[in-house]
Structure 1
Amino acid sequence: MKPIFAKNLLFCFCLSLLGNFLFTTPALAAIDLVKSAEFGTVYYLDSAGLRHPFPNQATYQSWYGNNFSKIVTVSSEFLAKYPLGKNITVRPGTALVKIRTSPEVYAVTTGAVLREIKDEDVAESIYGLNWHKRVIDIPDVFFGDYALGKVIDEKSDIPDGLLYQDQDTKKYYYKLNDLLQPFDSVKSVLTNQFKLTDAVVSDQTYLFAQRQRPITGLDQRIFNLLEKPTADNRDCENKKLKAAVIFLTAADYNADQLAVLEKIKSEVSPRFALATDKLSAIDLSYPTIIMTDDGYLTTRRNDGSREIQNELINTFYDQHPDAFDFLILWTNFKIPAENTNEIAHFTPIANRQKGGNVDPLNWSRSYGTTGKLKGIITMGDISKYKPETNAGLNEALNLVLHEILHQWSAYVSFIDSTGKQNFSLLRSPDFQHWSYYAGFVSPLGGSGWIDNADGTFTSQLSKMADTNLRQFSPLDLYLMGLIPYQLMPPFFYVKPDVAGAIGNTIAGQAQWVDVSQIIAAHGEVYCNPY
């Protein structure tokens, strides 16, 4: 005998609401809501061939309202072909939930995460005077279908996954990853199965960054019954890196431009392995993504250049996996920095590694990533690169490695013999590159001085056939976490006899530095798990 209590906990409808359709084979891909002719549980069929039960009517209605017309009655043989998956949970942004045996009230956020609302004052400040009318009960037995998140303890902490309306403009937005994305119309709000009464009306719009691209029509990111919880996916990956390449065009591009980009791209992985002495690798096998500005990705400036908007990265992640440590971006137009002396640019997004004088960082949510993305490398106009010659190719590759290395390197000071913090290893005034006087060579600077034992030093760069063929220095590799401090040899920088002296050979004194002095200033390099 089947246990009666289990059946009563599952969502049942009268057959009169469901229609009299009966299918015996799973060949009709358009079917996604089904129930058996023999019992009343309603299931959602996913694209992987699993069936997911709705635990109760309130859960179903949080997604489909009072629309039961899409539910198809099928045979038991049909259902048997679909293995049972996890339960469907209450749709984020449509209801507050509680269980009967506990007084806590929770907001449901994306990925079936419950965030307890601290008290009635906070609930009222976010959801209004009638907040209690949003509360529905979920049976205790299904509480385990949800994960628990951070407590909501203030008015500004508006949870993700809800319909948001600006109190003054009356404009509707979808809130996700601390970003507000506007709907282009009320029709698009309704198309995504929200009711206008679901909206949280707030005057806190100024607290959130806004996406430029509006939501038009049905958006699968919004109406996703099986969305997974977002997590802080920042990591300290340094040995098996992945990067995606984006070619952003302002108008039509030509085959020659793309060929130049692909030539450089094809050589990055082998050059990176060589530069790191095969201690690290970077995978650029993901196909190049060509994105044409549609009015949302750039803004034109008075000097004729175009400024790239964050919407570019958000749009990328709307369509591609969050699986990359770096995004490398080329354009077929000038960016503002190219009207100065800056050739390329590194934008840090997330960092968990300590010991390199780089603060813990997490701007991930503003860019549509959960933390995997470490940084964005903007290489600028593809027309300035000439990889058809060895010299031109080496210059481009050294620049890519230079920008990647900015994730970890060329920020450290050390404690000198007087006990003071000393920044002589770094180039002034930016303190983000190695000094001209550093006794090693790196894509981030340094001259690799050779001691002539007569009070003078000769630059190693002056003896190189191509100064763009640079290895990562041992200090770079240490700061990347690729070699332990115990294997770090001492190194020196030159203190010139004449301040500011330059040339292939200069007079000065070697100032030796041990890695223990860097550790004294910043701590040992390690991955911070928090």
Structure 2
Amino acid sequence: MKIRWQKSALTFLGLALVLGNFLLTTPVRAELQLVRSADFGTIYYIDSRGVRHPFPNEITYRSWYGADFSKVVTVGNEFLANYPLGENITIRPGTYLVKIRTTSPVYAVEQGGVLREIQNESIAESIYGADWSKRVVDVPDVFFENYQIGQPIKHDYTIPESVLYFNSDLKKYFYKNAGLLRAFADDEALAKNYFDKSFAISANRTFYEREKPIQGFDKNVFDPIALPIADRRDCENKKLKAAVILLADEEYSSDEVAKVQLIKNAASERYHWATDGFGEIDFDYPTTILLDDGYLIRKRNDGTTEVRNEAINTFYDNNPDEFDFIFVWTNFKIPTEDTNEIAHFVPVTNKWEGINKGSLDRSSIFGSQGKLKGVVMMGNINKYNPGTTEGLDAALNVVLHEILHQWSAYINFDDDGKNNNALLRNDDFFHWSIYAGFISPLGGSGWIDNGDGTFTSGLTKLANTNRRAYSQLDLYLMGLVDKRYVTPIMYLEPLIKDEVANTIKATPQYVTIDQIIKANGPVKCSID
């Protein structure tokens, strides 16, 4: 029997629903807890882990809550003793500028108590207006250790992070954080997140804007104990981690959930096999089920449904930034399914040299701080049949194929001083040519020399063409094996141009790894 969960029922529950290894998240407001000691008057913020964080002085409290003390409850020391003491709360970003009483530098505050020195008065006036000095408050030396020093603000066009931002052209308020803007739905949303418009930074600079506005209280906007924004860029290639999303429109079924789980449960082992044991990918993180709230998908006139970036942003609202890949299954047809594509790889970051793929970092528009390497749009889960061996192998081959796009099938090789792309498929240049002499999830045919001028595709000898390991060239480009393990690579020049057949007449050509390195450079990590 198919069990179907509908949007209305789940929204009514307003809870996080855990289904085995699946996590359905719906926005829930956790009530803030503010307590005051009856004996010494200190106000504490109690976080979701039951740790109490003191506001070191009144100005710090007011930077977060203004003049509202209505939610502060006076308690005795016995009550406080039940809650371990945590770090002090720091000044809310985007409110006051701070300085130490004994030194002259003035700092802007960003998330997590990060201080960025404003290098001169002209910059301060450009960002904060002519009355910028009225924002400056002294932080006692004893509390300065609660902060950490970040990069200085050297330019007058810099808008710090974690601030209330007013676009003077649009006449609209936004929350700006980590390079992203998110609009407030109305003044009530501003008030519920304790923002004072007088602290807004006004400018007409444009940034990438999320599609879903802030409606009501948002724990990602108002978080007195948020950690600093970290640069999470890396070149991790040996121990990868993946997250999985099932994105549904009006409803989803237990069968759809089960199909995702079958593929997910087998993916780590198949990847380890495909890399010949050199690589790992962890799929153990609970799958997130997202139901469209009007911002996650867009229905098109051609009958397909587009997945918006907001789906990934929403995922990061409730999950850590620790994933190299995010796989998205839907229960509707996405636009690429009207082409020959089964799935689609969306590149997000690349810091890998030597693979003929440019440096890239657009992670912030998805909600990552550099860790996310790619988003894999797997399409409608109902086109997969993982309940059979054949169907599961087909689905896993798609998974291996899409992961490999992060590193492989972009290279040229040196051919007497000219770059030659004969190893690539000539209709897109990011898959291996059918004339390549190896077999990979990204293409190639593994040609076998018959000794009479003809060659037969090695794919015809495979018992299961959906069980394809990564080639030695793939493993080199992924940084998993050294170049000395890559033997000369054969490719064919067919006597009949563009001939496609299981057996063809052709002239073999050979490419060495040194020719590939000469054209593309050595494979290495490069993080500036």
Q: Deviations over 1:341-390 (max 9, x none)?
A: 22210011122222222222221111111222211100112232233443
Tell me the secondary structure at the aligned position of residue 228 of structure 2: coil
For the 8 Å contact 2:99–2:136, the answer to whether it is kept is yes
Equivalence for 1:286: 285
| Alpha-carbon distance, 1:171 to partner | 2.2
Equivalence for 1:10: none
| Alpha-carbon distance, 1:121 to partner | 2.9
Query: Kindly tell me: are residues 75 and 261 of structure 1, through their superposed partners in 2, closer, same or farther at Cα, counting changes over 3 Å?
Result: closer
Within 5 Å, give how 1:133-152 maps onto structure 2.
133-152=134-153
Equivalence for 1:120: 121
Q: Distance in 1 between matches of 2:467 and 2:208?
A: 41
| Alpha-carbon distance, 1:459 to partner | 1.0
| Alpha-carbon distance, 1:422 to partner | 1.8
One-letter amino acid of the counterpart of residue 303, structure 1: D
Q: TM-score, normalised by structure 2?
A: 0.89
One-letter amino acid of the counterpart of residue 246, structure 2: F
Over the aligned positions, Cα root-mean-square deviation in angstroms equals 2.2
| Alpha-carbon distance, 1:69 to partner | 4.3
Q: Distance in 2 between matches of 1:282 and 1:242?
A: 5
| Alpha-carbon distance, 1:123 to partner | 2.3
Equivalence for 1:65: 66
Equivalence for 2:25: none
Tell me the secondary structure at the aligned position of residue 48 of structure 1: coil
Query: Kindly tell me: are residues 52 and 260 of structure 1, through their superposed partners in 2, closer, same or farther at Cα, counting changes over 3 Å?
Result: closer
Q: Distance in 2 between matches of 1:148 and 1:181?
A: 26
| Alpha-carbon distance, 1:469 to partner | 1.4
Equivalence for 1:87: 88
One-letter amino acid of the counterpart of residue 111, structure 2: T
Larger CA deviation: 520-529 vs 85-94: 520-529
Equivalence for 1:366: 365
For the 8 Å contact 2:233–2:527, the answer to whether it is kept is no
* Structure 1, unaligned runs of 5 or more: 1-28
| Alpha-carbon distance, 1:528 to partner | 2.5
Q: Distance in 1 between matches of 2:279 and 2:453?
A: 37
Q: Distance in 2 between matches of 1:381 and 1:35?
A: 53
Q: Distance in 2 between matches of 1:398 and 1:325?
A: 19
One-letter amino acid of the counterpart of residue 440, structure 2: S
Equivalence for 1:445: 443
Q: Distance in 1 between matches of 2:31 and 2:284?
A: 34
One-letter amino acid of the counterpart of residue 465, structure 2: T
Q: Distance in 2 between matches of 1:387 and 1:67?
A: 56
Equivalence for 2:130: 129
For the 8 Å contact 1:94–1:198, the answer to whether it is kept is yes
Tell me the secondary structure at the aligned position of residue 251 of structure 2: coil
Query: Kindly tell me: are residues 224 and 444 of structure 1, through their superposed partners in 2, closer, same or farther at Cα, counting changes over 3 Å?
Result: same
| Alpha-carbon distance, 1:64 to partner | 2.1
Equivalence for 1:488: 486
Q: Distance in 2 between matches of 1:100 and 1:31?
A: 32
One-letter amino acid of the counterpart of residue 396, structure 2: L
1:432 lines up with 2:433 in the alignment: no
| Alpha-carbon distance, 1:49 to partner | 4.1
For the 8 Å contact 1:362–1:371, the answer to whether it is kept is yes
Q: Distance in 1 between matches of 2:382 and 2:72?
A: 56
Q: Distance in 1 between matches of 2:392 and 2:33?
A: 52
1:501 lines up with 2:502 in the alignment: no
Within 5 Å, give how 1:195-210 maps onto structure 2.
195-204=196-205, 207-210=206-209
For the 8 Å contact 1:177–1:366, the answer to whether it is kept is no
| Matched residue count | 499
Higher relative contact order (CA 8 A, sep 6+): 2
Q: Deviations over 1:215-253 (max 9, x none)?
A: 122111122111111111122222222212211112222
One-letter amino acid of the counterpart of residue 406, structure 1: H
Larger CA deviation: 497-506 vs 67-76: 67-76
* Identity rate, percent: 55
Equivalence for 2:45: 44
One-letter amino acid of the counterpart of residue 393, structure 1: L
* Structure 2, unaligned runs of 5 or more: 1-29
One-letter amino acid of the counterpart of residue 481, structure 1: G
Q: Distance in 2 between matches of 1:127 and 1:263?
A: 54
Query: Kindly tell me: are residues 359 and 141 of structure 1, through their superposed partners in 2, closer, same or farther at Cα, counting changes over 3 Å?
Result: farther
Larger CA deviation: 48-57 vs 501-510: 48-57
Tell me the secondary structure at the aligned position of residue 507 of structure 2: strand
Within 5 Å, give how 1:2-401 maps onto structure 2.
32-204=33-205, 207-401=206-400
Q: Distance in 1 between matches of 2:256 and 2:69?
A: 53
Asked which structure has the greater CA Rg, the reply is 1
Equivalence for 1:512: 510
Query: Kindly tell me: are residues 523 and 443 of structure 1, through their superposed partners in 2, closer, same or farther at Cα, counting changes over 3 Å?
Result: same
Q: Distance in 2 between matches of 1:295 and 1:70?
A: 33
Larger CA deviation: 433-442 vs 55-64: 55-64
Q: Deviations over 1:395-439 (max 9, x none)?
A: 2221111001111111111222x1222211111132111111111
One-letter amino acid of the counterpart of residue 124, structure 2: A
| Alpha-carbon distance, 1:181 to partner | 0.9
Q: Distance in 2 between matches of 1:46 and 1:253?
A: 34
Tell me the secondary structure at the aligned position of residue 253 of structure 1: strand
| Alpha-carbon distance, 1:122 to partner | 2.6
Q: Distance in 2 between matches of 1:76 and 1:394?
A: 61
For the 8 Å contact 1:413–1:521, the answer to whether it is kept is yes
Q: Distance in 2 between matches of 1:69 and 1:430?
A: 62
One-letter amino acid of the counterpart of residue 275, structure 2: T
| Alpha-carbon distance, 1:80 to partner | 4.7
Q: TM-score, normalised by structure 1?
A: 0.88
For the 8 Å contact 1:36–1:76, the answer to whether it is kept is yes
Q: Distance in 1 between matches of 2:314 and 2:51?
A: 29
Equivalence for 1:26: none
